[in-house]
Amino acid sequence: MLMDTRQLAAFCAVVERKSFSQAAERLGVTQPAVSLQIRALEKRLGKQLLDRSGRRVEPTEAGRRLYRSAQRMLSLEDQLLEDVATVGEGELTGTLDLGASTGPAAIVLPLLLCEFQRENPGVKVSLTVADTHAVVEHVGARELELGIVGAARRQRGVSFEPFFRDEVILATPPDHAFAGRTITLDQLRDEPLIVMQEGAGVRQVIEDELRRAGTRLRDLEPRFELGLQESVKSAVAAGHGVTFISRAAIEADLAAGTLETARVEGLDPAREISVVRSAGRSPTRAAEAFLEFARARL
């Protein structure tokens, strides 16, 4: 049975002031209004709550028991209103659940999240790394609040917005004949090409770019499909072939000299890394604060 807190407030005021007129004055309403609230409450509960026979109004046994519970309920209501009123003020708190694709977002995000959490110690951060398709599915199911993905196919139930731009390059072993050169698609066909699994954002970018160039990925006869970026990066570094990969994902390898890059004539693959949200879901303060923090640094 739902309780009307206005009736409870009127009842508590009468018990505390032992007077209908003083309770009305405290509440800023008329005495008949207080009497009406009390009668409605007694009718709803089927109990007499106040003894009106003496000079002062006193609670009955049922009234005393209700008074103790009503105080707790009104206190909770005050706390609830205060909590809602202070949203947007003071220290950030709560949990920030994000997902990221295994491309550059997964490389860039961990450091950003660590810096963000250091500045906002009241926020608990959780990052799930998966392929682009899986991240979008989790966000659409509201299992994650935000996703950071690349080259995602648009779908119902989620919305996308730009986050940052990422270059996709051809990575080679450092001593490879392609290293530092511009090659043709025909030359690429003669080399072992390693690709990421279906659902990976980089693979979708390359498939789209090749289609614009009048060819298809399968025409290049890929030799290996080795999961996601860490797998293909390790295979290329070991000399087993070449691969298309996010530049952000191999910056450290390029600096260390364990990988090199090449350019393919007629291809200029890049992708917009996007933020994906569940459509219609109101963002938390923590999520909005993180996006503002990240965009200022990217």
> What does 239-297 look like in DSSP terms, one character per residue?
TS-EEEEETGGGHHHHHHTS-EEEEETT---EEEEEEEEETTPPPPHHHHHHHHHHHTT
Judged by DSSP in three states, 167 sits in: strand
pTM of the model: 0.57
And the tokens for 152?
A: 């995602």
24 close to 17: Cβ distance less than 8 angstroms: no
Dump pLDDT digits (tens) for 234-282. Answer: 999 999 999 999 888 888 899 999 999 999 999 988 888 899 998 877 8
At 4 the pLDDT is 82
Dump pLDDT digits (tens) for 140-185. Answer: 888 899 999 976 667 878 999 999 888 899 999 999 999 999 999 9
Q: Which residues contact 186 (CB under 8 A, 6 or more apart)?
A: none
Domains of the chain in start order, with CATH, are 5-85 (1.10.10.10), 95-162+276-295 (3.40.190.10), 165-272 (3.40.190.10)
Residue 80's CB is within 10 A of a number of other CB atoms, namely 10
Banded pLDDT at 83 (limits 50, 70, 90) = low
Amino acid (1-letter code) at residue 85: A
Dump pLDDT digits (tens) for 94-112. Answer: 889 999 987 767 678 888 9
